[in-house]
Every structure is written in C-alpha cells, then in structure tokens.
Amino acid sequence: MALDDLTLTRKEGFAAFAEAPEHPRPPDLTITEVKGMKDEAADKHNRWRRSYLSNLRPIRTDQAKALVEDLADVFEAGLDQPNWEAKGMAAVDAFPGLGKTTVGLSFAKKVHNDLIRENGRFTTAGQERWPVIRVGMRGDTRVKDFNWALLEFFAHAGQRSGTANSFLARALDCAISCESRLLLVDDVHFLKFRSARGTELANEFKTIANEFPLMILFIGYDLEKKGLYDDPQLGRRITPLGLAPFTIDHEAGRMQWRNFLLSLEQRLVLAGKWEGMLADDLSDYLYARCTGHIGSLMQLIRRGCLRAIRNGDECITEALMADVTLDREAAEQRAQWEALLASGKKTSKPRRRARRET
C-alpha cells in the first residue's frame, strides 16, 4: 500500500508514515511464469514490483544499528528525568546520502509506536498522544519560522498570528499536552549558526531543551563547520553521532558490505536472480560504482531493477548496470576505485564468506 500525499510536516502525515503496514511483497515468479503473463497481468505485476522497490524497508546495516543504539541511550536517559532538568540532545552529522534521514525516521517511528503501544493513543487528560514532532529546516528559517513549523506540525489554529514567543508558548502547550518526547529537526545544515539569526536559533534550541519535555535530534552534515557547537552550552549538551559509509579496508568492513548485499538481494523480486547475484558476482563492481555510499547504491539497484524488468533480463549484471547512470559524486570517484579493485590492491570481498541472513 502506498503512502498518501500527506507530508511529514504534519502530525497526521507522520502517523501515516509511522503506522503504515509493510509494503506487501509481490510474488516471486519464475522466468517462464513472467514471460507467459498476459499484458494486463504483466503490467500489474510490474507496477507492484516498482512500488515495492520504492518502499523497501530500510536494511539494518551495522552502521544503522550502532546509531540507533546511541540514539536510544540518549532518549531513554531523558524519559524519566524530572521536568526541570534539560533533556538530552543528539546530532547525527554525516555526508549526504549515507542514510541519516532514513535512520532518524526509523528511530522516530519506533518511538511513536512504542510509546503509543505502552501508554495508549490518548493521554490521561484525554488528549491525543503525539510522541514525535518532526520539523524540516530550510535555508531561511528564523526563530519565528521554526516555531511556526512546530505549530504547523500540530495543525494548531494559533499559527496564523502572533510573535515568535507566543508561537513557542503554544508549541510548548501542544508538546506538554500531547506528551511529545522526541523532536526531530532534519536538514539542520541549512541553518547558518554563525550569523545573528543563527545565534537566535541556537538560543531557541537551548530554551526548547530546557523547557520542553523532549529530546532534540538534529540531523544534517558539516554541523561543526556550520557552527552548531559554537555555543558552549550546546557544545556540552549535544551528543555528536555519525554514520559512516561502507569501507573495505578491513576484513570486518568487507564482511559488513557482503552481509548488506546479501540482505539486499533477498529483497529483490526478479525472476532470474540467483543467490550471490550481487554479493558474489558484483561485489567489487557495485563498490566501485557507489564507493560505499548507501544512497548511491540504492539508487543504482532501483534503476537497474526497473531496467531488468523493462527489458526482460530479470536479473542484474554488469552489462545491464553499465547503462545506468548515477549521481555526479559517485561517477567522479568511480574510475579511481575501479582501477584500485582491478589492480588487485583492494578487494571488497571478505576472505571468509558470510552466512546468508534472513
């Protein structure tokens, strides 16, 4: 089932995302079955495969698992803290396309579902429970815009007029009455903390951490350079966290890469696929093409699968992938990695074969 058009800037959209059932997997057919389908049935099957591919459940990579553990530490430590103590803050800072938003949202999804399951959909005072608030930043966000976005998330009637402070006071009322416990602020790199406006925002975040009963999770890249930690109090309170690309310099890293490819190939619904199609036969090739960046790799795999479905190959090979173009950054680094891997100086394959995981 596809998500509707609600966006994550509103609580209803966030709930739709967090509570959506897993996208059903299309049936695994044989090549003969696929080729024997009538046009209409084939169209339906292929549309299903396309939407399934766009809604793949995130793969629990080792990097993602470690990050979620760290987030849970900060979050759980704040849950039973007295109200007058400032709650924890964490910042996930990593290059674009490494899965920050994906991991942040899946953590937020878990918080939403866990707290509703444990405490009910309504608070004891009879208000709807909204464990998570999510705000996305834009280049020109000021304190008032940010506070407005908090109210927008709650679709609060009082968002039409007021001062920055009155917006914040209303947002605080919402967060308290809806028992919100996590504020996710994505794309924080858009903010220029080293400007008058940025200092105001930094101060506003401190106020929120002091007054609101929730953990703030910042997500962005280059946050240190952008000045997020310039303020001594923020520097002390924010736990900096990262998300690394896959690396193949060590055996452990190569094992992680292989495990990831094994999980990924199990998710693919292609009639002609075989065990090891990605993990054995394309390991080096895929690494060179994405240089360990999950975002580029997922893009490549999605495009490759759609092409394999369209042209009837029903499997992924180097020849098919050769025609799939990718983002500029990945294309730039590709030649260097291809040379290294071809020369035998590097390999992406572990010496010991990892077991297939389910």
Q: Contact, 184 vs 132, CB < 8 A?
A: yes
Which tokens go with 288? 């060179």
Q: Does 242 interact with ligand ATP (rule: CB under 6 A)?
A: no
Pairing verdict, β 238-241 and 215-220: unpaired
Q: Does 298 interact with ligand ATP (rule: CB under 6 A)?
A: yes
Q: Does 101 interact with ligand ATP (rule: CB under 6 A)?
A: yes
For residues 330 and 290, what is the distance between their CA atoms, to the nearest angstrom? 5
* Options 48, 66, 86, 96; binder of ligand ATP; rule CB under 6 A: 96
Q: Does 188 interact with ligand ATP (rule: CB under 6 A)?
A: no
Enumerate binding residues for Mg ion (CB under 5 A).
101
Provide the minimum distance between the beta carbon of 49 and ligand ATP in the complex, in angstroms, as a whole number.
17
Provide the minimum distance between the beta carbon of 96 and ligand ATP in the complex, in angstroms, as a whole number.
3
* Binds 223: which of Mg ion, ligand ATP, none (CB < 5-8 Å by kind): none
Provide the minimum distance between the beta carbon of 96 and Mg ion in the complex, in angstroms, as a whole number.
7
CB atoms within 10 A of CB 145: 17
Q: Does 58 interact with ligand ATP (rule: CB under 6 A)?
A: yes
Q: Does 221 interact with ligand ATP (rule: CB under 6 A)?
A: yes
Residue burial 156-175, b: 16+ Cβ < 10 Å; e: rest? beebeebebeebbebbbebb
Cα–Cα distance list, 223 to 227, 230, 300 (Å) = 6, 10, 28
Provide the minimum distance between the beta carbon of 243 and ligand ATP in the complex, in angstroms, as a whole number.
7
* Options 102, 113, 203, 347; binder of ligand ATP; rule CB under 6 A: 102
Q: Does 98 interact with ligand ATP (rule: CB under 6 A)?
A: yes
Taking CB atoms within 8 Å and a gap of at least 24, the contacts of 258-261 are 258/283, 258/348, 258/349, 258/350, 258/353, 258/354, 259/62, 259/354, 259/357, 260/59, 260/61, 261/286
Residues that bind ligand ATP (CB under 6 A): 56, 58-59, 61, 64, 94, 96-102, 221, 294-295, 298
